[in-house]
Amino acid sequence: MREPSGYIVVAEPIAKAIAARRRVVALETTLVTHGFPHPRGVEISAMLEAAVAAEGALPATIGIVDGRLRVGLQRGEVAQLAACGRAVKLNLSNLAAHLVPGGWGSTTVAATVMTAHKAGIRVVATGGIGGVHRGAADTGDVSADMTALARFPVAVVCAGAKAVLDLPRTRELLETLGVPVLGFGTDEFPAFYSREGGLGVDARFDDISALANAVRAHFNLDVGTGVVVGNPIDREHELPADVWQPAIDRAIVDAEREGVRGREGTPFLLERVRALTEGASGLSHEALLLGNATLAARLAVALSRE
């Protein structure tokens, strides 16, 4: 194991690949502990690792296990994280507080991006990024994912932002922060369950080498921000807006009635939408995660050809 900061433990195969500038994709673990009912989250995590490996890249799943921030969790450690019953959803503000003996935590996009950057990994795969929450003008609720993308030069492959968010304001904030939004095979910022959301991207790419060149140029310019790569869900798994939008509206009402706020808000909303759509949104979520893991691996491979 290698410890780049004294707090981050990088598994030996991952450390060797990073040192050799080979292709590595970082994967978050909030989907394991908060994104899907147990044990489905563990199963999906294994599927994502397999999807990355199938494209010739090395998956590096990240999480806190017994007080150590580990890059490249073993499958047994992922299972422990899911089953321990005390894993905390970690972002930039609370991660360090759990780097203590007995601490267990799953990484959000923000925590995964920060850890990936410090470990030397340039590509992260996730489902959808966090962003500006609906009603943020009153609550001030903006995901720490925005902060991480503004601070760490890592490419995040996603199906846009989570559909439960205020997508227009999220897209506007990314522009304000200087985070480029690149579309792969699309002119629009994907809307998570839907391929199109009516919001543009900064540039469209249909070739993985061209996309890698754009990402590489952004990093080489030392702008200091990350890159969002919007990868729309496959058409066969797309969920019609007239199915997911009413479900989200109802879920938001339910969250307000039950007083669900802060870090628990998004997991509650996604699970409520899954129930209201009779599982259809969960199947779409799984599909877009796999699609993003595959594209992230392809991007990591292309970036390694410098």
State the catalytic residues. 28, 162
Q: 2 to each of 19, 74, 96, 113, 224, how far by Cα in Å?
A: 11, 15, 19, 18, 25
Which alpha helices (DSSP H) does the chain contain, by range?
Answer: 12-19, 30, 40-54, 75-83, 109-119, 136-139, 144-151, 167-177, 208-220, 241-258, 265-276, 280-303
How do strand 123-125 and strand 68-71 relate by DSSP bridges? unpaired
Of 188, 148, 181, 208, give the one whose Cα is nearest residue 28: 148
Q: 263 to each of 20, 111, 115, 131, how far by Cα in Å?
A: 37, 13, 19, 12
Q: How many CB atoms lie within 10 A of CB 296?
A: 30
- CB of 163 within 8 A of CB of 193? yes
CA dihedral 291, 79, 153, 289 (to 10 degrees): 10
- CB of 91 within 8 A of CB of 71? no
Q: 37 to each of 41, 119, 207, 229, 267, how far by Cα in Å?
A: 6, 30, 36, 27, 11
Residue 9 exposure: Cα atoms within 13 Å on the Cβ side: 13
